[in-house]
Amino acid sequence: MTGTSSGYGKATAQLFLDQGWNVVATMRAPDESVFDKPGDRLKVLPLDVTSAESISKALADAVAAFGRIDVLVNNAGIGLLSAFEFTPDTVIREMFETNTFGVMAVCRAAIPHMRQHAGGVIINVTSSTAIAPMPFVAVYTASKCAVEGFTEALSYELGLVGIRARIVEPGLAPTTNFRTNSANRIEGLTPPPYDAFAQRYFAKLQDYPTAFTSVSEVSEAVFAAATEEGDRLRFPAGPDTALFAQLRWMTSEEHYLAQMRAMFGPDLSE
């Protein structure tokens, strides 16, 4: 598992441990103390998903620790809140290096091992914004939509060799560090004419909605994706994700867009 130092990744690694699995938990700065009752079934390793050398070493160390990899969970990612017009190319590329190219690199490194063992599951964690994009997360959304398309296409390829590729789509979880970390990257990226709209939008997010996603809902969705038989591809996690999925796929595009603009669009009457 990648990105296990906090939030969804930490909760997911802990759930698999609690269910009796051997777990290789990776993070940029390894810290075994973040987990409850770590023992012989847990191996914490350093991993930078933007480094091919780091990926190769982590994979080799994981196999050395437990013999084989049955499930790969790509959870590592970074967030960003910004007006796209003012987002520097360097920031955009950094986002894709971690959220998209990092996922691809880890998958490509793990697939030969899983293919040799004639099976396994690859789970890529994306976002509810891939279902229902919102303002000021255009770059983040693009990086996650790319992973969704990649994973679906990959699922058709890997089905030939007995490997499942699946998507877990978390909603917004206020108990994680995602919003804080994203907000720390926003300084100077929502200047006029976007600033007033941005302030209203972020204030509205504080009240939205009555149903957030909990870290346990995400970890349980990942566990289901790892263990469920069949050809299911997407595993929405959280009531807000379910709401957006229903709004997106069970109504007309006109109705969907009207609802999204009512919730998150600018007040054009001002």
- Residues marked active site are found at 140
Distance CA 266, CA 228 (A): 42
Q: Which residues pair with 123 in a beta bridge?
A: 73, 166
Among residues 226, 225, 243, which one has the least CA distance to residue 235? Answer: 225
| Tokens of residue 89, six digits | 């190319």
DSSP for residue 268: T
Spell out a b/e string for 176-215, using b for 16 or more CB atoms within 10 Å of the CB, else e: bebbeebeebbeebbeeebeebbeebbeebeeeeeeebbb
Alpha carbon 58 to chain centroid, angstroms: 20
What 3-state DSSP class applies to 39? coil
Among residues 113, 142, 118, 112, which one has the least CA distance to residue 129? Answer: 142
Q: Which residues pair with 122 in a beta bridge?
A: 72, 165
Cα distances (angstroms) measured from residue 254 to each of 96, 244, 248, 259, 260: 31, 14, 10, 9, 10
CB 49 within 8 A of CB 76: yes
